[in-house]
Amino acid sequence: MECIHLSENVKITAPPMKDENPPCQFHCSVCKTSKSPWLCLTCGAVHCGRYVNAHAKLHYEERQKHSVCMDCDSYAAFCYACDEFVINDTDSGDLDKLRKHLRSVAKFHTVKNRRRDSLDSTENEGKKKKIKTDTGAKAIKPRTSGLRNLGNTCFMNAVLQSLSNIQQFCGYIKQLPSLEKKKPRANVTRYRNGRDDDILLVEELRKTLIQLWQGNKSAISPESLFSVIWKVVPRFRGYQQQDAHEFMRYLLDRLHTELLTLLPYPNPSSPYIGPKGKSTIVTAIFGGLLQNEVNCLICGTDSKKHDPFLDLSLDIPDCKEGLVNLSECLSHFTEVEELEESELYNCGTCKRKQRSTKQFWIRRLPNVLCLHIKRFRWSSHYRVKLETLVNFPIHGLDMNEYVLNNMHETRNSCSGSNLYDLAAVVVHHGSGAGSGHYTAYAYHDSRWYHFNDSNVSVCEEETVAKCKAYILFYVRRELKLPDFLVNIGSNGEETTKEDQ
């Protein structure tokens, strides 16, 4: 947001130094922790963030004109008076000066530490030719970084980590050329950051995914992406907990809209297409097609409608044991259901609204099947969470039973292309719909990883299987990728498969 308190509160462009050398690590002046250090831009004091011991917030409450601070790790500026992150700067560019100074501090100590490590390695060469633990096992370092929590942004972090481990989607976004100066071919709202540069959501996502997979930091801060999301989707502004599924849908829909105006590819066979038969990486990977059948109970007339989808939202069937299988949720989704009195079908044959039934079938499956387990439902005047454990397969989810044959509209008897393997899971922890915490599990390089904001750790497959899934991402064993999935050259030109 455009903060109005900068000129009054920002007094420093460099942190105070205790000696000639800059500090290698910032610590809270109260509790001494190095976790989430925030620098007061009025007096230069360092305190911990609100998700540690909240001494930075306490510092502001005791000194009302010390409202603006900066994260010493991500260099994001935050105003406690506005209770939002800051995207503008002072007239003299004080925030930018401070960021450059902090980056130079970090670079100085990175080089210093590398030299020290190199010397230590040389001195110990020959002494440590082969290191073994008592069990012979080696520590496994994740190749991807964590994502810092910017204030109840775990919903975003869990979704981003899941999408980053969908190989076909992430790989394509990462290899896109910079879109900062790309001109859209149709009208699409573009937004400006504090430097008055045009900015697109897809461009910020591209940068974030590249940073994630560089693996040179234990955690990165997605504040640039989050600030763009605030502008693109105002409902996600602020720091209250948001719904991960809603965020994922807004994110994918926005990416699809932007890419249609920037890099549209003709693909009439895509199951989920945009205007004039255009498709994008979003629809090519996540797009499927439903068949909605409505039957008039008076005259028996059938009406069929085809609806594109990017994910399927599945109800949890009622059960006494507190345990259901994913197959039961899918069967419930495709069951015949009689419409309520308020949803009477306007029958074309009877020429009036009549009692009717409806049924969904999957007419065409996507390359990545995204299943949303509807854990939250309204009860009286508030939402409650269903804690039912849904058993889901890690390998070999068979979707044949729920798919119509495209030629004869009968159930497919067998098809290897309808088998799916789990790639990622988003989990909601806690009992409240508007609270709790989101984490994600994802499969990469033959191992499962747990993504909990800044922390990334290896976990066992059994741990994943026991989690209370909220969003499941399944990848098709036999992918059916369209020809427009191309390699992007260093010059930014698009090269088709035929050209390669």
Which pLDDT band holds residue 265 (cuts at 50, 70, 90)? low
- Which residue is catalytic, options 5, 109, 332, 437? 437
**322 three-state secondary structure:** coil
Q: Which has the higher per-residue pLDDT, 391 or 106? A: 391
Which pLDDT band holds residue 14 (cuts at 50, 70, 90)? confident
| Model pTM score | 0.69
Lowest mean pLDDT among 242-256, 367-381, 456-470, 473-487: 473-487
DSSP 189: -
- Which residue is catalytic, options 40, 154, 296, 370? 154
* 156-198 per-position pLDDT tens digit: 999 999 999 999 899 889 988 887 666 555 445 444 433 334 5
**Which is it for strands 356-364 and 288-296: parallel, antiparallel or unpaired?**
antiparallel
* 322-379 per-position pLDDT tens digit: 899 999 999 999 888 888 877 787 888 888 888 888 888 899 999 999 999 999 876 6
The C-alpha atoms of residue 280 and residue 476 are separated, in whole angstroms, by: 18
The domain ranges of the chain are 6-106
What DSSP letter does each residue of 4-46 carry, written as one string?
A: S-HHHH---SS---SSSSPPSS---TTT---SSEEEETTT--E
The C-alpha atoms of residue 450 and residue 422 are separated, in whole angstroms, by: 14
Amino acid at residue number 461: E
How confident is the model at residue 187, as a pLDDT? 47
Q: Is 208 exposed, middle or buried (0-12, 13-18, 19+ CB in 10 A)?
A: buried
Instruction: Write down the residue that tokens 């059938």 correspond to.
Output: 302
Lowest mean pLDDT among 49-63, 97-111, 361-375, 421-435: 97-111
Tell me if 429 sits within 8 A of 437, measured CB to CB.
yes
The C-alpha atoms of residue 172 and residue 280 are separated, in whole angstroms, by: 11
Strand intervals (E) in 221-287: 265-266, 278-279
Which pLDDT band holds residue 207 (cuts at 50, 70, 90)? very high
Q: Is 301 exposed, middle or buried (0-12, 13-18, 19+ CB in 10 A)?
A: middle
Beta pairing partners, 369? 474
Q: Is 143 exposed, middle or buried (0-12, 13-18, 19+ CB in 10 A)?
A: middle
The sign one gets for the Cα dihedral 431, 433, 438, 444 is: positive
Average pLDDT, the chain: 79
Question: Is the model's pLDDT at 269 over the cut of 50?
Answer: no
Amino acid at residue number 429: H
How confident is the model at residue 236, as a pLDDT? 82
Q: Residues 481-487: what's their mean pLDDT?
A: 59
Q: Residues 431-438: what's their mean pLDDT?
A: 73
Annotated catalytic, 437?
Answer: yes
* 122-140 per-position pLDDT tens digit: 455 544 444 333 434 345 5
Q: Which has the higher per-residue pLDDT, 190 or 2? A: 2
Element (H, E) at 228: helix 223-232
* Both structure tokens of 69: 């601070």
* 63-101 per-position pLDDT tens digit: 888 999 988 876 778 888 887 777 788 888 898 888 888
How confident is the model at residue 311, as a pLDDT? 96
The CA-based angle 189-165-307, given to 5 degrees, is 55
The CA-based angle 181-184-187, given to 5 degrees, is 135
**In Å, how far from its chain's centre is CA 81?**
29
Annotated catalytic, 79?
Answer: no
At 476, give phi and psi (nearest 5°): -65, 135
* Both structure tokens of 236: 């996600």
Q: Which has the higher per-residue pLDDT, 414 or 340? A: 340
The C-alpha atoms of residue 222 and residue 229 are separated, in whole angstroms, by: 11
Per CATH, the architecture of 6-106 is what? 2-Layer Sandwich (3.30)
What DSSP letter does each residue of 103-151 carry, written as one string?
A: HHHHHHHHHHHHHHHHHHHHHTTTT-SS---TT---PPPPSS-EE--SS
Q: Residues 428-457: what's their mean pLDDT?
A: 87
